[in-house]
């Protein structure tokens, strides 16, 4: 009889994930296995995979174990590794709550982007302390077909290029990564957000994610967009001492982002577990051949 591997499926504003609980880090999950699981036709399907491991059991997280019991070993849908996933960390927290490993209230989760503080509200939403944005200097240009736009380079632990456009349709079908220049701006690739205004401190985006393609939402992307929009609008909490909040509509829902005077960014949004089951280990082995 072949091995069975437990999984769950969840999403945050329709950024969807295969969740694989593996507290002791006993599973071998090479990039091809992650890509097979995230395949929407031949696998379970997801924009990415959340490998749930105790921090003490993972070499990349051991140093964070005293602060955070659980490590979000996040993988993009193509199997590549990313530093951080904002929607993923909310769904990860929801999984811990669903599994009875934590209760509502405050907890800490280790990620490759550092330890993130999370608050599970009793009304259902989850708030994550996303850390500070870095805004590296230098002009970046993003293009789609004949059009190109200046983009703001924002790093939320992972890299983003934020382009303000007149119409989200100008982003095209986003079937391939939008080209950017200079090539040296993002040696490891980039997540690209296209943004329009919806009202005062209210924007909407489409995103092409590195390693996943166009997704229905990106949490780190929404934070990058909120910071880029604030600076464009002349709002800087560090200068005024007043927090600034943006509502960011994504194709899969709505996220609320607040930047505080100390630079810390909080993101609030939903996180849902939709299913759980077992992966057939034999299928996974065959998928790797
Ligand atoms: N969907 C994520 C971001 C996932 C990582 C990204 N694709 C990358 O490679 O940096 C989010 O919600 O932040």
pLDDT tens sequence across 70-119: 999 999 999 999 999 999 999 999 999 999 999 999 999 999 999 999 99
Q: Tell whether domain 140-267 is in CATH 3.30.70.920.
A: no
Distance from residue 252's CA to the centre of ligand 1 (Å): 15
Task: Look at residue 1 in the predicted model and tell me its pLDDT.
Answer: 60
- Same fold for the pair 4-125+271-287 and 140-267: yes
Active site residue 218: yes
Strand locations in the chain, DSSP E? 4-12, 15-21, 48-54, 70-76, 105-111, 114-120, 126-131, 140-144, 147-155, 159-164, 180-181, 191-199, 202-209, 213-215, 244-250, 253-259, 265-269, 272-280
List, chain by chain if needed, residues with CB within 6 Å of any ligand 1 atom.
15, 48, 76, 82, 85-88, 158, 191, 209-212, 215, 218-220
Domain ranges within the chain, ordered by starting residue: 4-125+271-287, 140-267
Which pLDDT tens digit goes with each residue over 241-289?
A: 999 999 999 999 999 999 999 999 999 999 999 999 999 999 999 988 8
Over the chain, what is the mean pLDDT? Answer: 97
- Using the predicted structure, report yes or no on whether residue 16 has a pLDDT greater than 90: yes
Which pLDDT tens digit goes with each residue over 39-59?
A: 999 999 999 999 999 999 999
Q: What's 4-125+271-287's CATH class? A: alpha beta
Instruction: Give this complex's ipTM.
Output: 0.97
Active site residue 85: yes
């Amino acid at each position: 009889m072949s091995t069975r591997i437990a999984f769950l499926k969840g999403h945050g504003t329709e950024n969807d994930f295969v969740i694989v609980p593996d507290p002791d880090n006993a599973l071998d999950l090479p990039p091809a296995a992650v890509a097979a699981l995230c395949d929407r036709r031949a696998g379970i399907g997801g924009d990415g995979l959340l490998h749930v491991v105790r921090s003490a059991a993972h070499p990349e997280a051991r140093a964070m174990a005293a602060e955070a019991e659980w490590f979000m070993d996040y993988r993009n849908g193509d199997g590549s590794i990313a530093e951080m996933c904002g929607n993923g960390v909310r769904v990860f927290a929801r999984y811990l709550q669903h599994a009875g490993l934590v209760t509502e209230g405050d907890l800490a989760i280790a990620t490759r982007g550092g330890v993130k503080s999370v608050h599970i509200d009793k009304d259902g939403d989850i708030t994550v302390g996303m850390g500070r944005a870095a805004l590296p200097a230098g002009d970046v240009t993003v293009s789609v077909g004949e059009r190109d736009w200046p983009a703001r380079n924002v790093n939320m632990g992972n890299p983003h290029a934020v382009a303000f456009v007149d119409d989200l349709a100008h982003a095209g079908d986003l079937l391939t990564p939008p080209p950017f220049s200079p090539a040296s701006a993002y040696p490891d690739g980039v997540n690209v957000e296209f943004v329009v205004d919806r009202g005062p401190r209210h924007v909407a985006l489409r995103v092409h994610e590195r390693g996943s393609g166009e997704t229905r939402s990106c949490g780190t992307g929404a934070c990058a967009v909120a910071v880029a929009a604030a600076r464009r609008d002349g709002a800087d909490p560090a200068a005024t001492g007043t927090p600034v909040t943006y509502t960011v509509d994504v194709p899969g829902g709505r996220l609320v982002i607040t930047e505080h005077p100390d630079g810390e960014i909080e993101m609030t949004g939903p996180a849902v577990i939709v299913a759980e089951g077992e992966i057939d280990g034999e299928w996974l082995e065959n998928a790797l051949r």
